[in-house]
Amino acid sequence: MSSELERVSGLIREVEDFPQPGVLFRDLSPLLADAEGFRVVVEEMAAHGTEADVDVVVGIEARGFLLGAAVALRLGLGVVGVRKPGKLPAVAHRVDYALEYGTATLELPEGTLRRGARALVVDDVLATGGTVEAACSLVEHAEAEVSAVSVVMELAALNGRRRLAGRKVRSLLTV
């Protein structure tokens, strides 16, 4: 691991028993608040988008919005936010999925992804893979293509990568 990524790793706070007992939450807030750490993450994620030849970034609510917008700006591309329910005036499609500690729903805003677009799906953490898999499903339902997935941190013990088999997945850190 490079010294830059070691520094990034040190900026991620671990919070025990959040959002429920038994869950160890990885909080990227200190990382996002650190200009140099944030720059490193954005540059690394943007490099993955360049390698995958993408033409749009899809950020998953909420931290994926922050990361996705910065990565899209760095790549000179647009960004599409995949949202939690009840936030959009016009929904193209929605998908329900399982989390490590419950269930959730994501929605794609109507008219935001063009058919054939090559997307880089961006999020903060890959845990069980349900959230990223749901976002990929929304992209594909819009007849766009998931060219790559980029996350800051992968929780290897939860084996979320198996749900994304066949996809180009890059995590900057694996714990």
CA distance 67 to 33: 12
Helices (H), the chain: 3-10, 29-33, 35-52, 63-75, 130-141
CA distance 8 to 28: 10
Question: For residue 37, which amino acid is it?
Answer: G
Q: Which of 63, 83, 161, 170 is catalytic?
A: 63
Q: Which of 62, 74, 166 is nearest to 124 (CA)?
A: 62
Fill in the DSSP letter of residue 12. Answer: P
- Say if residues 16 and 27 touch (Cβ distance below 8 Å): no
167 is catalytic: no
3-state secondary structure of 5: helix
Q: Which of 4, 51, 100, 140 is catalytic?
A: 100
100 is catalytic: yes
What amino acid positions are annotated as catalytic residues?
63, 100
